[in-house]
């Protein structure tokens, strides 16, 4: 996926910003056996769940979890940065399906007035952490038409390809950042 063959002298480093239950990081680690990852979250409860999930999946030796606001406590460089940050406009929260609205913490859903608050915080932090040639996260979460050029300033975020759709056909994933195009 990310490189043709693992580099034995450089294990793949993954950051999952706002990890929640750890599902994204742990799925990647299960598919990339030479990778190591760090998940961050502001919620201690979420980090406890993510750690328990890592132990249950026998991935705890390659996964670490840190309490911080987005990537504030991270240093070094990462080859892959992923995130599924809050992206729902504040005014739309009340209209969400009950099983979503009443299950997930508000902070995991509410993206502010325009749904982009988390992205404004995340992008500068992730930019400093992305290794040369690294791959940044999915930055379109079901609002691709509105997000189209929202962060194409100073070259920090630059959509490389049309967004990929999820199983429901909603555009969700785009390659972004100052990195050369890599084959999927």
Across residues 6-30, what is the average pLDDT? 88
pLDDT over 60 (residue 79): yes
pLDDT in tens, 26-69: 999 999 999 999 999 999 999 999 999 999 999 999 999 999 99
CA pair distance 18, 30, nearest whole angstrom: 19
**124-129 long-range contacts, Cβ below 8 Å, gap at least 24?**
124/156, 125/17, 125/70, 125/71, 125/72, 125/74, 126/15, 126/17, 126/71, 126/81, 126/83, 127/156, 127/177, 127/178, 129/15, 129/71, 129/74, 129/75, 129/76, 129/77, 129/78, 129/81
Query: When comparing pLDDT for 148 and 89, which is higher?
Result: 89
CA pair distance 13, 1, nearest whole angstrom: 14
Which band of pLDDT confidence, cut at 50, 70 and 90, is reported for residue 114?
A: confident
User: Is 63 in a helix, a strand, or coil?
Assistant: strand
Which band of pLDDT confidence, cut at 50, 70 and 90, is reported for residue 90?
A: very high
């Amino acid at each position: 996926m990310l490189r043709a063959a693992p580099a034995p002298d450089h294990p793949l480093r993954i950051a999952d910003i706002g990890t929640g239950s750890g599902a994204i990081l742990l799925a990647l680690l299960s598919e990339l056996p030479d990778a190591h990852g760090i998940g961050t979250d502001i919620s201690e409860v979420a980090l406890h769940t993510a750690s328990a999930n890592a132990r249950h999946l026998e991935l705890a030796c390659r996964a670490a979890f840190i309490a911080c606001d987005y990537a504030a406590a991270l240093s070094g460089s990462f080859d892959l940065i992923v995130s599924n940050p809050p992206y729902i406009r504040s005014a739309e929260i009340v209209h969400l399906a009950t099983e979503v609205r009443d299950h997930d913490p508000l902070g995991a859903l509410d993206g502010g007035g325009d749904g982009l608050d988390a992205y404004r915080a995340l992008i500068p932090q992730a930019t400093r952490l992305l290794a040369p040639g690294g791959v940044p996260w999915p930055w379109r979460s079901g609002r691709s038409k509105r997000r189209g050029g929202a962060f194409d300033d100073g070259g920090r975020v630059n959509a490389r390809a049309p967004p990929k759709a999820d199983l429901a056909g909603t555009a969700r994933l785009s390659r972004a950042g100052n990195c050369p195009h890599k084959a999927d």
